[in-house]
Amino acid sequence: MKHLLIVDDERGSRESLRAIFGKDYRLSLAESADEAVQRLSEERVDLVLLDVLMPRKDGLALLKDIQDLYPDVPVIMVSASTSVRPVVEAIRVGAYDYVTKPFDVDEIRRTVERALQSSVLQRRVEVLEQQISEEYPIDGVVGESAAFRKALADARKAAEADATVLIMGESGTGKELTARCVHAWSKRKSEPFVAVHCAALPESLIESELFGHERGAFTSADRQKQGRFDLAGSGTLFFDEVSEMPLSTQVKLLRVLQEREFMRVGGTRIIRTEARIVAATAKDLRDEVKQQRFRDDLYYRLNVVPVRLPPLRERRDDIPLLAAYFLKLYGQRMALQERTLEPETLQAMAAYNWPGNVRELRNVIERVLVLHPESRVIPPDYLPEEFGAGPAGAPPGDGNVTLAEAVNSYEKRIIEKALAECDGIQTAAAARLGTTRRILKYRMEKLQIGADHSN
């Protein structure tokens, strides 16, 4: 049952409000500002009905205190005066609404119900925002490898220029997190970020989800519905896995990008949009265009600033950084003391190919902490079975090397082994290691692998 606090120095007003709300709400009554503050400090209150004119400390002064101390508690001001000035001042300070005496019972009931509903919705929004920030923390963009830093630099430039961005990368490389960074780095950061997961929307519903629909547009459309473009406003609209969008919808999205306008399903009114578009795909859109599964004109509209996120196997230097980040993140969430990886554990992780990329690494770390919360140092046998051997067999460590040294030592060995097996042909060795010749050459130079391995 919701809890209302009634603050009024007049006994008759307090009793009138008790009669109106006593059956449906839990009530606390206070006849002064000091008593109201005490009540607020002792109990959780969902809403305050506050008289404007009171002795010693009036309602407007108390309203300011409530806004400072309990900003989530809505306040409805009550007064016998019909003067406009206190109404304006109360709303300016932060009151939800204002009602006058004598009370219109139906009006004051509706006002209280609206205020409580608004408060609940606000709390839900805050919880969702907290959950999203935990799932996609901006400070979770971790990595020092050259390819990854270039991708971030491109994303930041695009964000500042307000350009359309196409983020490309395998599943688990952090495409949505990068899109949220583009939004957070842009001048639109205070506006909504709205995600559209194209692969999850049935073809029969995607246009209604994007553009909304009018009442009567189809059998079950019993009222008007706003679409994702409406919800995004002048913020960012993120199309995840845009390659999965049906061709019929691609035509309409292209028109929005060209004309900056759309119509709701079943509607006749043109609606302008200022939303900024960011798209992501795990597929090669150029190949999708060749296969006639994606429109070439839409591809060129989306591909204004391409951002390629490298897979984790191409940024093995970042594995110690990412592992340390996730150990700290999930350790704090689980209230665990600081955890570290044994050098052999990191060697096994460095040898692994990470088909699920950063998402897989994150899940592995979380799983280890959940299953072994008692261990301060994590041995390799805590890793999943697929980490058992690695491509060349992880050598034992002596426990006196740093994580970075362990990674470099083991990576050097597997690169030298691959080069030897491929007769020094770097292109073939790169293919065997699941990377590119350019990345392989960079790693050889960094690890001081001799020129006798070059082709």
d(CA 48, CA 270): 43
d(CA 307, CA 314): 15
Q: Strand 47-51 relative to strand 75-79: parallel, antiparallel, unpaired?
A: parallel
> 347 and 213: one domain?
no
> 253 and 348: one domain?
no
> 347 and 226: one domain?
no
Q: Which residues of 83-122 are buried (b: 16+ CB within 10 A; e: fewer)?
A: eeebbeebeeeebbbbebbebeeeebeebbeebbeebeee
> 178 and 296: one domain?
yes
Is residue 64 a part of any domain in this protein?
yes
**Number of domains within the chain:** 3
CATH assignment of the domain containing 83: 3.40.50.2300
d(CA 447, CA 411): 8
Domain that holds residue 415: 313-453
> 122 and 169: one domain?
no
> 122 and 10: one domain?
yes
Lowest mean pLDDT among 200-214, 316-330, 428-442: 428-442
Tens-digit pLDDT profile for residues 68-95: 888 889 999 998 776 777 778 888 888 9
> 18 and 94: one domain?
yes
d(CA 308, CA 92): 48
Tens-digit pLDDT profile for residues 317-375: 899 999 999 999 889 888 888 889 998 899 889 889 999 999 999 999 999 999 888 88
134 or 399, which is more confident? Answer: 134
> 194 and 304: one domain?
yes
pTM: predicted TM-score of the whole model, two decimal places:
0.65
CATH assignment of the domain containing 368: 1.10.8.60
> 76 and 50: one domain?
yes
Average confidence score pLDDT of the chain:
86
CB contact at 8 A, 10 and 54: no
pLDDT at 455: 46
User: Has residue 159 got a pLDDT over 70?
Assistant: yes
> 94 and 160: one domain?
no
User: Has residue 19 got a pLDDT over 90?
Assistant: yes
Calculate mean pLDDT across residues 232-251: 94
> 352 and 438: one domain?
yes
Residue with tokens 């805050």: 126
Calculate mean pLDDT across residues 286-304: 96
User: Has residue 391 got a pLDDT over 80?
Assistant: no
d(CA 79, CA 58): 11
